[in-house]
Chains A and B, each alone.
Chain A
Amino acid sequence: MQYLFAVINDDDTMATPEEAAAIDVFNDRLQAGQHWVFAAGLAAPSSATVVDGRGGEAVLTDGPFVESKEFMIGFWIVEAPDLDVALALAGEGSRACNRKVEVRPILAP
């Protein structure tokens, strides 16, 4: 089963070099434990564009789909047999990146 770990940022600072180093260590651990699927950091929400193509021609809106103090600054996708394993990994990930992490199951294809 796969889980999304959404990393929640609640101020304007990006990852420090120490945090980046800790994230690398955690990523290595995910790979060694065969939990690794994918991970990425995201640019600031101010760089986002929302596209609504439901009406035929796409309508573009500058900015993120929801303006809030807390936003997703990066994510992991991990493989874990159950929520307990996922939560334990998310705890390590949260310590590594020094931010809160939201754990959400990814629906099976």
Chain B
Amino acid sequence: MTDARTALTRAHHEEWARVVATLTRRFGDLDLAEEAAAEAFATAVERWPADGVPPNPGGWLTTTATRKALDRLRREHRRDAKEQEAQLSYDAPPGPGEPPGAVEDDRLRLLFTCCHPALALPARVALTLRMVGGLTVPEIARAFLVGETAMGQRITRAKSKIKAARIPYRVPAATDLPARLSGVLAVLYLVFNEGYLATGPGTDPVRPGLTAEAIRLTRLVRDLLPQDGEAAGLLALMLLTEARRTARLTPDGELVPLGEQDRSDWDTALIAEGHRLVRERLAAGQAPGRYQLLAAVNAVHTSARTVADTDWSQVLALYDQLARLDPSPVVALNRAVALAELDGPAVALAALRPLAPALTDYRPYHATRAELLRRLDRHAEARAAYDRAVGLAGNAAETAYLTHRRDQLPHQSG
């Protein structure tokens, strides 16, 4: 019984995307593939505890889902089903001696279709979590604070557009691949960040389900495209961030900034894996992209035994490199944080000044400014900056931390 339940959870994690992807290729219909996969898993829930776990759960699920899809087609249009059956006879799954490439490519196809740039970003995120991640509509709705009906419609609309506009089910051509892959990675990073830095006052500050899901899917992309530096970089970035998750919050749900975290709470296995990926990318000798640079920054932090051991000049050099790739004010803000540690808060504050117009509604800008002003004993200005930061919508744990920091400021000075 427990074995069956473990096997079901495992099969859901490992086989859902494969089943949906295989059926989508066979039947050319995402909707049908999704429903048939859901029915096959429901059948497994009924049958496995009683009949035992089949020797090849993935094969069992694919076969069952295929049968469910054919039943559905037969009910809807008898003739189409006959044609599909005919097609099945020469489109059989690869045998034991054949390379599994076709099936792996199916999952990549599915990812690229779900993350197609012709779909709105929220639709890409929802569709990826449903079709590739296997999360249910209510789970996705809860994760993004959207009503179930609205989330269901978002996914349905995206699937209809894929069908009506004929968004192709394939891995993009080599010339388009880097741009399209960066779109896929952006969706996964967004899912991760929503789990790690959930926004909105009513949400849990951290939602481990979403971070775990993002890591799982990024691992899949990395396995499918092992040569891609950015996929490895994003995975490393996520692992090195996730490693600090438990140290990042007090029991009361207040944020603990990096410098004050108990480093013995960090997950050493995740850190080791993240460092291994970063080293692998360094050894590849190719110019790193954005995720690789951010992963390297996190590798520097997670290599330091104490905050005082942090190699800030290395962090600054990495942000300089990132700023050349992405001259955005947010990168400049993060660079200023490293600058404060090397050249002092006054220099960093001066570096923030030109960013003010672009980042006026960006919480981390005001939070960083507040900390720098505090270090310069400019308490009245620091208080105003904390107020501004707290007033902007953001993560609940951050709000608690910023409020606490503001209330620690001495009253009569400035």
Interface residues in chain A, defined as those with a beta carbon under 8 Å from any beta carbon in chain B: 1, 81-84, 87, 103-105
* Minimum CB distance partner of B172 in chain A: A84
Partner of A105, one of B165, B168, B176: B165
> A87 to chain B: which residues have CB within 8 Å?
118
Number of interface residues of B (CB under 8 A): 9
B166 lies within 8 A of chain A by Cβ: yes
- The list of the 10 closest CB pairs from A to B, nearest first, reads A82-B168, A82-B166, A105-B165, A83-B165, A83-B167, A84-B168, A83-B166, A105-B164, A1-B166, A83-B118
Q: How far is the CA of A65 from the CA of B64 in the complex (A)?
A: 52
Query: How far does the Cβ of A47 sit from chain B's closest Cβ, in whole Å?
Result: 31
Q: How far is the CA of A84 from the CA of B119 in the complex (A)?
A: 12
Q: How far is the CA of A74 from the CA of B116 in the complex (A)?
A: 27
Q: How far is the CA of A105 from the CA of B167 in the complex (A)?
A: 11
* Minimum CB distance partner of B116 in chain A: A83
Q: How far is the CA of A81 from the CA of B167 in the complex (A)?
A: 10
Interface residues in chain B, defined as those with a beta carbon under 8 Å from any beta carbon in chain A: 116, 118, 164-168, 172, 176
Q: List 18 A-B contacts (CB under 8 A).
A: A81-B166, A81-B168, A82-B166, A82-B167, A82-B168, A83-B118, A83-B165, A83-B166, A83-B167, A83-B168, A84-B167, A84-B168, A84-B172, A84-B176, A87-B118, A103-B165, A104-B165, A105-B166
Query: How far does the Cβ of B111 sit from chain A's closest Cβ, in whole Å?
Result: 15
> A84 to chain B: which residues have CB within 8 Å?
167-168, 172, 176
Query: How far does the Cβ of A94 sit from chain B's closest Cβ, in whole Å?
Result: 14
- Greatest chain A CB density within 10 A among B164, B165, B172 is at B165
Q: How far is the CA of A1 from the CA of B172 in the complex (A)?
A: 19
Query: How far does the Cβ of B231 sit from chain A's closest Cβ, in whole Å?
Result: 21
Q: How far is the CA of A104 from the CA of B176 in the complex (A)?
A: 22
- Greatest chain B CB density within 10 A among A83, A87, A103, A105 is at A83
> A103 to chain B: which residues have CB within 8 Å?
165
> B176 to chain A: which residues have CB within 8 Å?
84
Q: How far is the CA of A1 from the CA of B165 in the complex (A)?
A: 9
> B168 to chain A: which residues have CB within 8 Å?
81-84
Query: How far does the Cβ of B298 sit from chain A's closest Cβ, in whole Å?
Result: 35
Query: How far does the Cβ of A86 sit from chain B's closest Cβ, in whole Å?
Result: 8
* Minimum CB distance partner of A107 in chain B: B164
Q: How far is the CA of A103 from the CA of B166 in the complex (A)?
A: 12
- Greatest chain B CB density within 10 A among A82, A103, A104 is at A82
> A81 to chain B: which residues have CB within 8 Å?
166, 168
Q: How far is the CA of A81 from the CA of B166 in the complex (A)?
A: 8
Query: How far does the Cβ of A25 sit from chain B's closest Cβ, in whole Å?
Result: 21
- Greatest chain B CB density within 10 A among A1, A81, A84 is at A84
Q: How far is the CA of A48 from the CA of B210 in the complex (A)?
A: 53
> B167 to chain A: which residues have CB within 8 Å?
82-84
* Minimum CB distance partner of A84 in chain B: B168
Q: How far is the CA of A82 from the CA of B164 in the complex (A)?
A: 10
Q: How far is the CA of A6 from the CA of B113 in the complex (A)?
A: 24
Q: How far is the CA of A83 from the CA of B117 in the complex (A)?
A: 11
> A82 to chain B: which residues have CB within 8 Å?
166-168
Query: How far does the Cβ of B184 sit from chain A's closest Cβ, in whole Å?
Result: 15
Query: How far does the Cβ of B25 sit from chain A's closest Cβ, in whole Å?
Result: 15
> A104 to chain B: which residues have CB within 8 Å?
165
Q: How far is the CA of A104 from the CA of B161 in the complex (A)?
A: 10
> B118 to chain A: which residues have CB within 8 Å?
83, 87
Question: Known contacts A81-B168, A83-B167, A105-B165; can you find 11 more A-B pairs with CB under 8 A?
Answer: A81-B166, A82-B167, A83-B116, A83-B165, A83-B166, A84-B167, A84-B168, A84-B172, A87-B118, A103-B165, A105-B164
Query: How far does the Cβ of B259 sit from chain A's closest Cβ, in whole Å?
Result: 47
Query: How far does the Cβ of B372 sit from chain A's closest Cβ, in whole Å?
Result: 43
Query: How far does the Cβ of A4 sit from chain B's closest Cβ, in whole Å?
Result: 11
> A83 to chain B: which residues have CB within 8 Å?
116, 118, 165-168
Q: How far is the CA of A60 from the CA of B168 in the complex (A)?
A: 43
Query: How far does the Cβ of B116 sit from chain A's closest Cβ, in whole Å?
Result: 8
Q: How far is the CA of A1 from the CA of B166 in the complex (A)?
A: 8
Q: How far is the CA of A38 from the CA of B164 in the complex (A)?
A: 21
Query: How far does the Cβ of B167 sit from chain A's closest Cβ, in whole Å?
Result: 5
Q: How far is the CA of A83 from the CA of B163 in the complex (A)?
A: 10
